Homo-oligomer: A and B are copies of this chain.
Amino acid sequence: MAIMTESTIQVLKDGHVTSPKGFTAGGIHCGLRKEKLDFGWIHSENPAAAAGVYTLNTFQAAPLKVTKNSIEQEKHIQTIIVNSANANSCTGEQGYSDALTMQQWAAEKMDVSTDHVAVASTGLIGVPLPMDKIKKGIDLMGSETSTEDFEHAILTTDTVTKHTAIQLEIDNKTITIGGAAKGSGMIHPNMATMLSFITTDAAVDPDSLQHALREVTNKSFNMITVDGDSSTNDMVLVLANGQQNNNLLNESHPEWATFIQALQLISEELAKMIARDGEGATKLIEVNVKGAPTEESAGQVAKAVISSNLVKTAVYGSDPNWGRIVCAVGYSEQPLDPEKIGVSLGDIEVVKDGLPLEFDEGEGKSYLENKTVKLGIDLQNGSCEATAWGCDLTYDYVKINASYRT
């Protein structure tokens, strides 16, 4: 992952998905949930070049199919609508038809082309959408609410809203990229009950944007896990409405690499916010694997460690039990030499060349009491690296998930 200097890319202090020029957003209560906001939208003044990545779960929910089709056909989106509480997943032909109806209603309400509306849903699986409530939500679109309301309306078991924005110079124009996300449980590499919406006022070629998003997602949203389950509904969308009138960004633009860096940064920040707010989580865990023969292999090892319930509970208990880390590395099924592996907890080296080092257990324990815990693994078997993010496994995770529906 490239290092970004502050002079190139600036993180805004209170950035939102509407920080880029020409975007508005809002959220209201339409009755899908008892009291909380449950329906939101993002709207661009003009059709924006659009790209999307979607869950790999075989049971892809209806709204994903609708959104994917529209983006593939039109390569532009002007309005995104999102409901929480109901995933419109495993709902058969009725569900697909409902998602299409939502898209059409929103297009009429906002006076945009039907295929310029993206639809997203999150929540319970297998329950038909109450379309009267959805209709109520759509009727209220554009009413006076705030971006914060949008950020709240898309949440499920999340405890905080997730948003950020950054700025950079392209063609001497100040480009802003903003983002909002939700996702708490069921987060796993490959888009798991996670929704993320990224906006920018840069002008970007939609095909280039699609390639960029896929590349960046593989090193950000696909590298987080909360509980290893990947959902039927997850997607990341990027909208670029071009309101800064820069020269169209694509692979041959001299500042394309900088734009990719910025997209990587915002994706990584949103991904980390999701991991940190994992269901019941008290700590963000970052696993960095270096010395791997390929990036993919490094990624597989990092994912094995970040997904290990035993590692996650050890971090929760601040137990410097590096044996569990080594064990997870060992079952990752990646090429490695047990006699070369190194492990560190933050700056504390605990294993070198496959053998334990003497270290102060109290120091290890106290390092693990931090709110962000970094686990380092050196395979000494190549020059590639990867980073994955996750969270600890706590009593509250069990509590939340043993009674999600009650």
Q: Does A344 lie at the interface of the complex (its beta carbon under 8 Å from any beta carbon of B)?
A: no
Task: Determine whether the beta carbon of A227 is less than 8 Å from that of B309.
Answer: yes
For chain A, give the interface size range.
35 or more
Q: Does A329 lie at the interface of the complex (its beta carbon under 8 Å from any beta carbon of B)?
A: yes
Looking at the assembled complex, report how far the CB atom of A153 sits from the nearest CB atom of chain B, in whole angstroms.
21
Q: Which of A227, A313, A322, A328 has the most CB of B within 10 A?
A: A313
Using CB atoms, name the residue of chain B closest to A186: B310
Chain B positions within 8 Å of A309 at CB level = 227-229, 309, 397, 401
Chain B positions within 8 Å of A326 at CB level = 59, 90, 125-126, 232
A331-B401 CB under 8 A given contacts A309-B309, A356-B127? no
Task: Determine whether the beta carbon of A331 is less than 8 Å from that of B398.
Answer: no
Complex Cα spacing A91 to B394, Å: 30
Contact of A59 among B59, B92, B329 (CB under 8 A): B329
Task: Determine whether the beta carbon of A229 is less than 8 Å from that of B324.
Answer: yes
Interface string of A82-126 (1 = CB under 8 A from B): 000001011110000000000000000000000000000000111
Q: Does A323 lie at the interface of the complex (its beta carbon under 8 Å from any beta carbon of B)?
A: yes
A186-B404 CB under 8 A given contacts A356-B127, A398-B398? no
Task: Determine whether the beta carbon of A316 is less than 8 Å from that of B125.
Answer: no
Q: Does A7 lie at the interface of the complex (its beta carbon under 8 Å from any beta carbon of B)?
A: no
Chain B positions within 8 Å of A56 at CB level = 331, 333
Task: Determine whether the beta carbon of A402 is less than 8 Å from that of B57.
Answer: no
| Pairs A–B under 8 Å by Cβ, sample size 24 | A56-B331, A57-B330, A57-B331, A59-B330, A90-B338, A92-B355, A125-B327, A126-B356, A186-B327, A228-B228, A228-B308, A229-B328, A229-B331, A232-B327, A232-B330, A309-B309, A309-B401, A313-B401, A314-B402, A316-B402, A317-B404, A319-B403, A321-B405, A395-B395
Shortest 4 CB-CB contacts between residues of A and residues of B: A125-B323, A317-B402, A313-B401, A59-B330
Query: Residues of A at under 8 Å CB distance from B?
Result: 56-59, 87, 89-92, 124-127, 185-186, 188, 190, 227-232, 307-310, 313-314, 316-317, 319, 321-324, 326-333, 336, 338-339, 351, 354-356, 393-395, 397-399, 401-406
